[in-house]
Amino acid sequence: MGRDLFGTDGIRGEANIYPMTAEMALRLGAAVGNFFGSVKGSSRRVVIGKDTRQSGYMFEYALTAGLCAAGMDVLLLGPVPTPAVGILTPSMRADLGVMVSASHNNFRDNGIKFFGPDGYKLSDDVEAEIEGLVEKGATLSPAQSIGKAQRIDDGLFRYVERVKSTFPSGMRLDGLKVVVDCANGAAYKSAPEVLWELGAEVIPVGVNPNGQNINEDCGSTHPRLAAETVLEHGADIGLCLDGDADRLILIDEQGQIADGDQLMGLLASSWAQEQRLSGGALVATQMSNLGLERFLNARDISLERTKVGDRYVVERMRQGGFNLGGEQSGHIVMTDFSTTGDGLMAGLQFMSQLIQSGRPASEALSVFEQIPQLLKNVRYAAGQAPLEKEEVQAAIKSAEQQLSGSGRLLIRKSGTEPLIRVMAECENDDVLTRVVDDVVQAVSRACAA
């Protein structure tokens, strides 16, 4: 069975354009209702969360209609971070968790992510089975078995208390001035509240969602606003979340931006010293910097690489019994605390390191020297397969030969947007720029042909 609907992180696309239509959400809701409602011992309960996109109402209600039609009872959480759905699904004894969000994309896009009863994202095989049910058409429940829907008022409170519980017992954020950029997204209430309740002086930005400003010139994909705010207020640290708050980019007191690799390196080395790094390894993706790998290996810590996508990171962590993983883009997964990436939890873990060490953020985030890395994207149209063209294959082969022994090349299709991502690492800046540009130009010509 194929996976035409699902990408690396659920289903995503522009609202009101296939597959992100209300009709598809309705059919999808009925299909997953059939799939999970048929499991022996099913509670026939579903929790649904969403971010702050204008189209979220449409998809929330369409999914609810489909799920109720399949006999499932729906608990509506309203705007909550994606990790809240992962936490609350097993906590509320639900069979299924649904998050309506397109993460870091702009408001025109939306997406649907699913969590199983254990709070983990669904596997490729389960998603393929659900696609088959969508294509086949769901079985609807008789009138007396149609499900019910209700709003849950304390879902956000439950999540806030869970996040606070991950901070070291007895430790406080008193004396820390923290800028938190919530990207006008799902954490616009919870993130400032958690930080304030733990004692920080909080300067919030990106906390005025209007349905169309999510991720707009703010958040983890546009951290410059937070960096400027840190400098303006003389803050100790800046936390930049994305639209659904499952990723984090950090800003130090000098306004410098640090990605997920630096944070993962810090946590991995610290946890290893404290003998709490399970399996003696960090799990990260192919995108993580070669400098991180060298840093870890020098400390007898292994780097396990996976395909891009936090779901694949989590799968490898569960297979190997590892408890720390993530992505360069800021997904930090700590399975001691959560089933998926949680930007706010990751920020708290970083601040606990600051407090324990007494170092400023700029020192704590200078974990390793990064190998120069260059990433460029090429947009392609539906039906195109530029990577299969001979000219592109020749350009890739030439680039690999030039980088042999001094760097690496990674080319892949994005799982969330129609983009070809061309990334290379090399200590020679001239070679780095040349090989990336050569491949990008070849892909661009193939797309234009």
Query: Which residues are tagged catalytic?
Result: 103
Integer CA distances (angstroms), 183 to 180, 271, 367, in order: 9, 30, 26
Q: What's the gap between Cα 434 and its chain centre? A: 31
Long-range CB pairs of 274-278 (<8 Å, 24+ gap) are 276/323, 277/301, 277/323, 277/324, 278/321, 278/322, 278/323, 278/324
**The tokens of 167 are what?**
């901070």
Distance CA 59, CA 296 (A): 43
Distance CA 242, CA 219 (A): 5
**The tokens of 43 are what?**
């509670």
Burial of residue 266 (number of CB atoms within 10 Å: 0-12, 13-18, 19+): buried
* Beta strands, E only, 207-337: 237-241, 248-251, 257-258, 281-285, 302-306, 324-326, 332-334
Asked if 316 contacts 283 with a C-beta cutoff of 8 angstroms, the reply is yes
Distance CA 341, CA 259 (A): 14
Per-residue burial over 323-355, b = 16 or more CB atoms within 10 Å of its CB, e = otherwise: bbbbbbbbbbbbbebbbbbbbbbbbbbbbbbbb
> Quick check: helix, strand or coil at residue 133?
helix
The DSSP result for 395-420, as a single string, is: HHHHHHHHHTTTEEEEEEE-SSSSEE
Distance CA 424, CA 303 (A): 18
The DSSP result for 302-369, as a single string, is: EEEEE-SSHHHHHHHHHHHT--EEE-TTS-EEETTT-SS--HHHHHHHHHHHHHHH---HHHHT--SP
> Quick check: helix, strand or coil at residue 39?
coil
